[in-house]
Copies of this chain bind each other. A is one copy, B any other.
């Protein structure tokens, strides 16, 4: 279960396209920092900073073995955000369903000519 205060940090982390790309890549397979950095023109330091942001909000984890730091996705890291979206959508849909029912009832109550 994700701490509620963490949703802010997760949304800020995901609002950056490079960080979303890195997360998509790690969802397919773990990778070393240098492999993650390879497709990008930015400095290794900038990539490391992006990885730190992703790690601090619990979306990835990393482990250094010898000289190589390997990053992997944290399973369930997106669960809290996904639940929040689900709740907000469900509330909207339920309300619109009720509105639809009400309109149908009103339509049904119309005197037939």
Contact = CB atoms under 8 A, between A and B. Distances in A.
Interface of A: 7-8, 11-12, 14-17, 20, 23-24, 27-29, 73, 75, 78, 81-82, 84-86, 88-89, 91-93, 95-96
B27 A95 contact: yes
Contacts of A88: 23-24, 27, 78
Task: Count this chain's copies in the assembly.
Answer: 2
Contacts of A14: 11
A92 B93 CA distance: 28
Contact of A85 (B85, B93, B96): B85
A15 B92 CA distance: 20
A85 B81 contact: yes
Contact of A15 (B12, B27, B93): B12
A82 B89 contact: yes
Contacts of A29: 95
